[in-house]
Amino acid sequence: MGEVASLRAAIAALVHDGDTVALEGFTHLIPVAAGQEIIRQRRRNLTLVRMTPDIVYDQMIGAGCARKLVFSWAGNPGVGSLPRFRDAVQNAWPVPLEIEEHSHAGMANRYVAGASGLPFAVLRGYAGTDLAGLTDTVKPITCPFTGETLTAVPALNPDVGIVHAQRADRAGNVQFWGITGVHKEVVLAAKRSLVTVEKIVDRLRERPGAVVLPHWTVTMVAEVPGGAHPSYAHGHSDRDNDFYVTWDSISRSRTAFQRWLDEAVFATTGGVAP
């Protein structure tokens, strides 16, 4: 556990065709470089899980890696829509995309159940919405003490959980800070996990708001400076807001997207986004 490897070796070892893969990072510490390495290794028929599919999943979906998407908000934050995601949903291009849609509260609790070794989680959610009727992953549950009806959602335990973090030490202990999202939950819920980090150091030092995941909870660690671009790593980089806008123009046209794929992903040896 906590094995340090190259990004290429880690993806090759951990991600297989047909796997359920969750790349997480709530606007912060998104493992974009790892997503692009999955594209580069031409993985197919993945079930992609993510609360906020944004540019990284637009890229993976457009590249034809995914057969299904489990999510709660699919957009380009602050800019608009995800053209590749829309093209897949509305026109099955390049391949059909099955979707399973939830709310943030539902997705977050599904990861919590997964991390807790429970088959389901309970929340006050979905009541009265049209979401519940579209999936068998939202069901009513009755409180055995009060008789009140609440909502149950099943645990998420992805085959692979991938996040980006600021630091790891050489033993593979991982540390991240700032907005931590569902980082801890997805790593603990996943059967296998990969953490890409800005920097591998000899010793982690305590920091306000920092979360540490011991090496024995992380399968592999890869040093990928800038691996969250165009999202950011608190204390290392700023969010590249211009790229989010640029992405819209790239993603709107299939040909522009294909050109971007060839130039930015397949022609490169991997690591950092353009």
Partner 1 sequence: MTVDGSGQAAATWTDEEMMIVAAARALRDGTRCFVGIGRPSVAANLARGTHAPNLVLVYESGTIGAKPTRLPLSIGDGILAETADAVVSVPELFNYWLQPGRIDVGFLGAAQIDRYGNINTTVIGADYRNPTVRLPGAGGAPEIAASCREVFVIARHDPRTFVDRVDFVTSVGYGRGPGDREALNLRGRGPVQVITNLGVLEPDPTTCELTLTQVHEGVDVDQVCAATGWPLRVATAPTTSTAPTPTELTALRTLRATIGSGAP
- Do the Cβ atoms of 100 and 68 come closer than 8 Å? yes
- Do the Cβ atoms of 272 and 236 come closer than 8 Å? no
Minimum CB–partner distance for residue 234 and its own copies (Å)? 13
For 244, the token pair is: 């989010």
Binding partner 1 (rule: CB under 8 A), the pick from 18, 96, 119, 149 is 149
DSSP state of 133: G
Spatial CB neighbours of 43, under 8 Å, sequence gap ≥ 6: 15, 16, 17, 19, 65
Stretch binding partner 1 (CB under 8 A), from 14-22, 32-40, 100-108, 261-269: 100-108
Minimum CB–partner distance for residue 135 and its own copies (Å)? 11
- Quick note: the x/- pattern for partner 1 over 70-99, rule CB under 8 A, is -xxxxx-xxx-x---xx--xx---------
Residue 143: HSE in the Cβ half-sphere, 13 Å Cα cutoff: 8
CB nearer to partner 1: pick between 75 and 225: 75
Stretch binding partner 1 (CB under 8 A), from 15-23, 121-129, 195-203, 256-264: 121-129
From 106, 197, 116, select the one nearest 152 (Cα to Cα).
106
Measured between alpha carbons, how far is 83 from 76 in angstroms, rounded to an integer? 9
Contact between 212 and partner 1 per CB under 8 A: yes
For partner 1, the binding residues (CB under 8 A) are 26-28, 51-52, 71-75, 77-79, 81, 85-86, 89-90, 101-105, 108-109, 111-112, 115-118, 123-131, 134, 148-149, 173, 178-185, 188, 209, 211-214, 216-217, 232, 234, 238-239, 241-245
